Amino acid sequence: MGKRFGWLLAAAGLFLAPSFASAQMEVPPAIFTGPLSHPRYESGGLYWAFDFIYLKTNRPLKGQIVGERGILDLDGSIAGQAGGFVGSREIALHTEQVRGPGLNQPGWDMMVGWRFESGVVVELHWRHLVQARYTAQASIIPPSFNVGNQFENTFLFAPVVNFTTDFAGNATNIPVGSSAAVFGIWNGASLMQIEYVQRYDIYGINARIPIVETDRWRNYGLFGPRVVWLWDRFKWRTVDLDEQGNGGPETTAIYSNTVSNRLYGIHAGFGNDWFLGHTPMGGFAFSLDLEGGLYLDQAKTFAHWDREDRAVGTHRSRRLFALSPAAEVKGTLFWYPWEAVSLQAGYDLTMYFNTYASHRPIDFNVGTVDPEYNRQFLRWYHGLRFGISFVF
């Protein structure tokens, strides 16, 4: 009897074993691999991305002469004629010298967002470029080494007018003539320096909404609010030294003209994402995004003349408004070495229309401080982008 009961238990075990194994196969255990694990990525979740960008832009400057070689004899005690110019009048400094071929500015894109189970993605975005700085200067020795018979070409002149005696400079710039002959920091100066600085930032919220999706292709819409900051500053520094080569903040003048474009608006467009296939190294995909934007440009300008010791100066600021359209093209190649990580490389082109700039940034009239401000037809930023993203 006992032996028969044992055979029955063995037979029941053999009968139930396949069903038990099948049940175990239907629910495989989840393997935990750290903070980048997720049991079901299609259900959505938090992600973070960082891109290194390397972009180049144009400089909205046109030609303007800043300084010339020589001195202007105001009272005639040097040249024998009041208002006569002594020197070659060779152009010593020009705004073209800070336009240059342009620099590639490094920067970053930082994004943190949430993907919903429906496929909708919402993210916070910040793009920043390290400022680009262009400089040029003119001093006592001309590039041609033509200093003049009486060393008159070692001096610099700029046609600055309508300034007070606070900007008189040194009384004895040269060993001949009266102190009134070269009155002013910009007449008989020894050094002139110009500088042009550009900055660029974007702050925004991006939303991506799926439209059509297949196994290997998807189409989606893009939109969101955005703030764009375009910042340019032109600065000109002039140093007036005496016969002994001495000077100081009270004989140094600084002119500066800043244009700050704050663009408030929205961007919208669409994109396509193609899955290229699997390899032993992981999956690959390519995306192409096309977007447009419309912004209200609230430009703030600030121009000023100052002595370097800040004891005296004249200033003027203005606010200007314009509607500024924009367009953007972005192509990206993705590599997915692991489900929670993607590496990407791409090319960006962004264009802004109808923003403000000061093409000829200097107003030589200290009494008015009213340089011209122009509508810049096109500002462009283009370059490469490399990044990484993580899904949590």
Q: What local confidence, expressed as pLDDT, does residue 41 receive?
A: 57
| Per-residue tokens: 212 | 């059509």
| Alpha carbon 72 to chain centroid, angstroms | 40
Tens of pLDDT along 13-33? 333 333 323 333 343 444 444
User: Which run of H or E residues covers position 18?
Assistant: helix 2-26
Cβ-contact 238, 191 below 8 angstroms: yes
Tens of pLDDT along 138-154? 999 999 999 999 899 99
How far apart are alpha carbons 186 and 238 in whole angstroms? Answer: 7
Place of tokens 């060993």: 175
Tens of pLDDT along 77-124? 888 889 999 999 999 999 999 987 888 999 999 999 998 988 899 999
How far apart are alpha carbons 268 and 271 in whole angstroms? Answer: 10
| Per-residue tokens: 203 | 């702050």
Give the other-Cβ count within 10 Å of 312's Cβ. Answer: 15
User: By C-alpha distance, which of 293, 302, 296 is closest to 256?
Assistant: 302
How far apart are alpha carbons 211 and 221 in whole angstroms? Answer: 7
Q: What local confidence, expressed as pLDDT, does residue 6 receive?
A: 42
Q: What local confidence, expressed as pLDDT, does residue 1 receive?
A: 41
118 phi and psi angles, rounded to 5 deg:
-70, -10
How far apart are alpha carbons 168 and 180 in whole angstroms? Answer: 9
How far apart are alpha carbons 70 and 126 in whole angstroms? Answer: 49
* 280: Cβ contacts below 8 Å, ≥ 6 apart: none
**pLDDT confidence of 226, banded at 50, 70, 90?**
very high
Q: Where are the beta strands (DSSP E) in 158-251?
A: 187-189, 191-213, 217-239
Percent above pLDDT 70 for the chain: 89
Q: What local confidence, expressed as pLDDT, does residue 21 receive?
A: 33
Arithmetic mean of pLDDT over the chain: 89
How far apart are alpha carbons 328 and 204 in whole angstroms? Answer: 15
- 25-29, 142-146, 328-332, 334-338: least confident range: 25-29
Tens of pLDDT along 279-307? 888 899 999 999 999 999 999 999 999 99
Cβ-contact 345, 376 below 8 angstroms: no
Tens of pLDDT along 258-285? 999 999 999 999 999 999 998 888 899 9
Q: What local confidence, expressed as pLDDT, does residue 160 receive?
A: 97
* 172: Cβ contacts below 8 Å, ≥ 6 apart: 179, 242, 243
Q: Where are the beta strands (DSSP E) in the chain?
A: 45-57, 65-69, 71-73, 84-86, 91-94, 104-115, 121-138, 156-157, 187-189, 191-213, 217-239, 252-279, 282-307, 313-338, 341-357, 374-391
> Which residue ranges form the domains of the chain, and what is each CATH number?
46-391 (2.40.128)
Task: Say if residue 48 is exposed, middle or buried (CB neighbours under 10 Å; 0-12, 13-18, 19+).
Answer: middle
Q: What local confidence, expressed as pLDDT, does residue 23 receive?
A: 33
How far apart are alpha carbons 226 and 127 in whole angstroms? Answer: 11
CA angle 114, 117, 120 (to 5 degrees): 55
Tens of pLDDT along 188-225? 999 999 999 999 999 999 999 999 999 899 999 999 99
CA dihedral 377, 382, 388, 389 (to 10 degrees): 20
User: Which run of H or E residues covers position 19?
Assistant: helix 2-26
Q: What local confidence, expressed as pLDDT, does residue 101 receive?
A: 82
Cβ-contact 16, 24 below 8 angstroms: no
